[in-house]
Amino acid sequence: MVQAIRNSGKDRYRIAGEVSHLIGRQVTKAMLDAWTAESKPQHDDPTVQLKIPAK
pLDDT tens readout for residues 27-40: 899 988 988 887 86
Cβ-proximal residues to 19 (8 Å cutoff; 6+ apart), any chain: 27, 32
- Asked whether the predicted pLDDT for residue 50 surpasses 70, the reply is no
- Cβ 46 vs Cβ 15: under 8 Å: no
What is the pTM assigned to this prediction? 0.71
Report the chain's mean pLDDT, rounded to a whole number. Answer: 81
In total, the chain counts a number of residues equal to 55
**Angle between helical axes of 12-23 and 29-36 (0-180°, round to 10):** 100
∠40-5-7 over CA atoms, to 5°?
A: 130
